[in-house]
Amino acid sequence: MSMFCYQCQEAAKGSGCTANKGVCGVSADSIELQDLSVYLLKGLSILNLKAKELNVERKDIDAFIADTLFATITNVNFTTDFFEKRIRKILKLREQIKVTIAEADGVVEDNLHESVYWTAETLEEFEKKGEEIEGTIDAPNEDIRSLRALVLYGLKGIAAYEHHARNLNKESAELHAFVQKALAALTNDSLSVDENIALVLETGKFGVDVMALLDEANTSAYGNPELTEVNIGVRGNPGILISGHDLKDIEELLKQTEGTGVDVYTHGEMLPANSYPAFKKYDHFVGNYGNAWWEQAKEFEKFNGPVLMTTNCLVPPKASYIDRVFTTGVVGFDGVKHITDREEGKEKDFSEIIEMAKKCTSPTELETGTIAGGFAHNQVLALADKVVDAVKSGAIKKFVVMAGCDGRHKSREYYTEFAEKLPEDTIILTAGCAKFRYNKLNLGDIGGIPRVLDAGQCNDSYSLVLIALKLKEVFGLEDINELPIVYNIAWYEQKAVTVLLALLYLGVKNIHLGPTLPAFLSPTVLNVLVDKFGICGIGTVDHDIDKMIG
């Protein structure tokens, strides 16, 4: 059994994983079921949009579509069982909607896309169909395929952010309708290249919208992040390590561990949780342990206690610690314990993790000291006068946006060297796990303003957008590209595609994207991005600093 997948930056040989296992560790049979899930979501979306036209709303289907898309992001769910159940549920929901449409005097035409009608009963049939439609991006030519990939991967990122916002009771019917409209459009071979480009930019528009929705959800629930010195050392108590992105999960874990003698540490993209006021009241919330997602194998082993994965990015656990790993939400891996979703009005039950932690030794110390965080839009805008004065005086010459993802390839050492070699009159604006390449460097400050301003998780790239728009307003500029801001963004998975499309929708130009350009971009589509938006790859550090900073 073989596979085809090129949705992440580490696609084999820069073109796509085609063996029986991907670089990320996912198996071919799991990828094929993921492909089939996405394929069938297109048909489900076509039908659900028809139902919406007839004023039949199914919020459960909206959430189901988003969560299934989220589960297909790289390093989220590795299990075939999860996707087999999802496929069976899609087939069931699809037939329910057909009945609903008929009852509302609607008609399901017989000339729609195959994903509306295809059906099967056995896992073997599912796997065979998944192999047949490899990549889920069927298209009349390579350029349309490339544009559809940009839309699909952007939708996956949107679905992830929407999932987190929904967990905090923030939801948008307009957003769900767009996701389904875009999925349906991926089956429409009559759309021209220009119409597909327009859909790409519309995906970017809803990328901005969903990041704003999640920002509102997080800050209304937990307050605005504030300047925080985050401890990176350890204490002598047993601990639980929580990784991923979902703040609702860490809130409930902190509540349930209070008074138990068990400490809680963040890992990876959960680091920004340390800067939210609502979580600072917990004395057993110690700080952050370790670095970016790809280092988790050695760091999880040394942590000694249980680890909770709330979202991506999960690396296949080693046998030495797999019994201490727990997943929750849409995350899954064979042989790993799973914490079931919360019931309506109740919290998730983390008692099993807590009881395990009590029996474990304290974490092995990796490092000591602190790192600064909490520079989301509210905190930076509170410093606006100071920042503006520094720009006007020439103390700050350029802001460099270095948001995005980290990854295991040696080529990503470029970003550490780039940060180290930047002139001392530059400020780095960052969000996402890309920060771990330079957030522990001693880069100093400019007039009390740290030279690395960490806005938070990848979705907090929205904060960087708000900061840029505020500076544009303050300086009275017509075009966001007139600001002293340059973009050197690292990508790994599909949420980074969402952030990229959001920036393109906002009109940001001349973005440097690395460490390699996406394998799913055809030469023609890449030329469009270069000509229309000035997108380019990265070169040597010295060359790129000279080009971007001058």
Asked whether residue 280 falls in the same domain as residue 405, the answer is: no
User: Which tens digits make up the pLDDT trace of 385-425?
Assistant: 999 999 999 999 999 999 999 999 999 999 999 999 999 99
Counting Cβ atoms within 10 Å, is residue 444 exposed (0-12), middle (13-18) or buried (19+)?
exposed
Instruction: Provide the residue count of the chain.
Output: 550
Instruction: Give domain status of residue 143, yes or no.
Output: no
Instruction: Give domain status of residue 504, yes or no.
Output: yes
Could you give the count of Cα atoms lying within 13 Å of 311 in the half-sphere of its Cβ?
Answer: 28
Rounded Cα–Cα distance for residues 48 and 393 (Å): 56
Phi, psi of 495 (to 5 degrees): -65, -30
Which residues of 255-314 form beta strands (DSSP E)?
Answer: 263-267, 285-288, 307-309
Instruction: Give domain status of residue 478, yes or no.
Output: yes
Asked whether residue 337 falls in the same domain as residue 413, the answer is: no
Instruction: Point out the domain boundary residue: 324, 358, 392.
Output: 358
- For residue 343, the tally of other CB atoms under 10 A from its CB is 9
- Name the 3-class secondary structure at 311: coil
Angle, helices 247-257/351-358, rounded to nearest 10 degrees: 50
Instruction: Give domain status of residue 190, yes or no.
Output: no
Rounded Cα–Cα distance for residues 213 and 81 (Å): 32
Give the CATH number for residue 397.
Answer: 3.40.50.2030
Instruction: Give domain status of residue 147, yes or no.
Output: no
pLDDT of residue 134: 72
Place of tokens 């596979």: 3
User: Which tens digits make up the pLDDT trace of 15-32?
Assistant: 999 989 999 999 999 999
Q: Are 395 and 447 in contact (CB under 8 A)?
A: yes
pTM above 0.85, yes or no: yes
Asked whether residue 313 falls in the same domain as residue 410, the answer is: no
Which is higher by pLDDT, 384 or 331?
331
**Distant-in-sequence, close-in-space partners of 473: CB < 8 Å, separation ≥ 6:** none
Asked whether residue 118 falls in the same domain as residue 262, the answer is: no
User: Which tens digits make up the pLDDT trace of 292-342?
Assistant: 999 999 999 999 999 999 998 999 999 999 999 999 999 999 999 999 999
Instruction: Give domain status of residue 173, yes or no.
Output: no
Which residues of 187-261 form beta strands (DSSP E)?
Answer: 228-231, 239-243
CA distances from 431 to 38, 95, 141 (A): 29, 42, 35
In the chain, % helix, strand, coil (3-state, to 5) comes to 50, 10, 40
Residue 295 tokens, joined: 């280092």
Instruction: Point out the domain boundary residue: 136, 157, 183.
Output: 136
Asked whether residue 470 falls in the same domain as residue 520, the answer is: yes
Give the CATH number for residue 21.
Answer: 1.20.1270.20
Q: How many domains does the chain have?
A: 3
Instruction: Give domain status of residue 2, yes or no.
Output: yes
Per-residue pLDDT band at 2 (split at 50, 70, 90): confident
User: Which tens digits make up the pLDDT trace of 126-171?
Assistant: 999 998 887 657 888 999 999 999 999 999 999 999 999 999 999 9
- For residue 92, the tally of other CB atoms under 10 A from its CB is 9
Asked whether residue 384 falls in the same domain as residue 352, the answer is: no
**Distant-in-sequence, close-in-space partners of 510: CB < 8 Å, separation ≥ 6:** 481, 486, 487, 533, 534, 535, 536
Residue 6 tokens, joined: 């090129």
Asked whether residue 492 falls in the same domain as residue 385, the answer is: yes
- DSSP-assigned letter for residue 536: B
Asked whether residue 233 falls in the same domain as residue 331, the answer is: yes
Instruction: Point out the domain boundary residue: 328, 358, 388.
Output: 358
Bridge partners, 404 (sequence order): 490
Asked whether residue 85 falls in the same domain as residue 8, the answer is: yes
The amino acid at residue 286 is V
Asked whether residue 310 falls in the same domain as residue 392, the answer is: no
Residue 176 tokens, joined: 């769900």
User: Which tens digits make up the pLDDT trace of 261-301?
Assistant: 999 999 999 999 999 999 999 999 999 999 999 999 999 99
Asked whether residue 13 falls in the same domain as residue 108, the answer is: yes
Asked whether residue 388 falls in the same domain as residue 537, the answer is: yes
Instruction: Give domain status of residue 254, yes or no.
Output: yes
* pLDDT of 173 strictly over 90: yes
Domain with 105, as residue range(s), is 1-136
Which range, of 122-136, 237-251, 349-363, averages the lowest pLDDT? 122-136
Taking the mean position of all CA atoms in its chain, how far away is CA 142? 26
Q: Is-cis flag, bond preceding 313, omega within 30?
A: yes
